[in-house]
A and B are shown apart, each in its own frame.
Chain A
Amino acid sequence: VTSIYSMGYMRGLKEHSQTRYFVFFALALSATIGVAFSANLLTLYLFYEMLSLATYPLVTHHQDREARASGRKYLTYILGTSIGLVLPAMLVCYHLTGTLEFANQGFLAGACSQGLAGVLLVFFIFGFAKAGIMPFHGWLPAAMVAPTPVSALLHAVAVVKVGVFSIVRIITGVFGTELLGQFDLGVVICAIASVTIIVASLIALSQDNLKRMLAFSTIGQLSYIILGVGLLSPKGITGGMLHIAMHAFGKITLFFCAGAIFVATGKRNISEMVGIGRRMPWTMGAFFVGSLSIIGLPPTGGFISKWYLVLGTLEANQMTFLFVLLSSSLLNAAYFMPVVYRAFFPPPGTAMFENRVQEAPIFCVTPPVVTAFISVALFFYPQPFFKLASMAVRFIGGN
Chain B
Amino acid sequence: METITSIKPLIAVLVSICVVPLLVLCTKPNIRETWTFAAAAVKLLLVLSMLPVILKACCLPVWRHPSGL
Contact = CB atoms under 8 A, between A and B. Distances in A.
A48 to B, nearest CB: 13
B16 A26 contact: yes
Contact of A3 (B13, B15, B36, B58): B36
A23 B20 CA distance: 6
B48 to A, nearest CB: 10
Interface stretch (A174-182, A216-224, A384-392): A384-392
B17 A19 contact: no
B36 A39 contact: no
Interface residues of A, number: 27
A30 B37 contact: no
Contacts of B55: 384, 387-388, 391
B12 A26 contact: no
B16 A384 contact: no
A33 B13 contact: yes
A12 B28 CA distance: 17
A29 interface: yes
B25 to A, nearest CB: 10
A43 interface: yes
B32 A22 contact: yes
Given A18-B29, A33-B12, A384-B51, A26 B23 contact: yes
A4 interface: yes
A238 to B, nearest CB: 15
B53 interface: no
A11 B29 CA distance: 10
B26 interface: yes
Contacts of A27: 16-17, 20
Contacts of B54: 388, 391
A7 B62 contact: no
B26 A3 contact: no
Contacts, number: 67
A40 B67 CA distance: 13
B4 to A, nearest CB: 13
A30 B24 contact: no
Interface of B is mostly: helix
Contacts of B58: 391
Contacts of B43: 29, 33
Contacts of A331: none
A34 B13 contact: yes
A183 interface: no
Interface in B24-49: 24, 26, 29, 32-33, 36-37, 39-40, 43, 47
Contacts of A29: 16, 40, 43
B35 to A, nearest CB: 8
A30 B13 contact: yes
B69 interface: yes
Interface string A30-55: 10011001011011000000000000
Interface in A371-398: 384, 387-388, 391, 395
A37 B19 contact: no
Contacts of B33: 3, 7, 22
Given A3-B37, A384-B55, A23 B9 contact: no
B7 interface: no
Interface string A1-14: 01110110001000
Contact of A30 (B1, B14, B47, B51): B14
Contact of B37 (A4, A18, A19, A387): A4
B23 A19 contact: yes
A2 B33 CA distance: 12
15 contacts: A3-B33, A3-B36, A3-B40, A7-B33, A19-B24, A22-B23, A22-B32, A23-B20, A23-B24, A33-B16, A33-B43, A33-B47, A384-B51, A387-B55, A395-B1
Given A30-B14, A42-B69, A391-B55, 10 more contacts: A2-B40, A18-B32, A22-B36, A23-B24, A26-B39, A37-B13, A40-B69, A384-B51, A384-B55, A387-B55
Closest 3 CB pairs of A and B: A26-B16, A30-B16, A3-B40
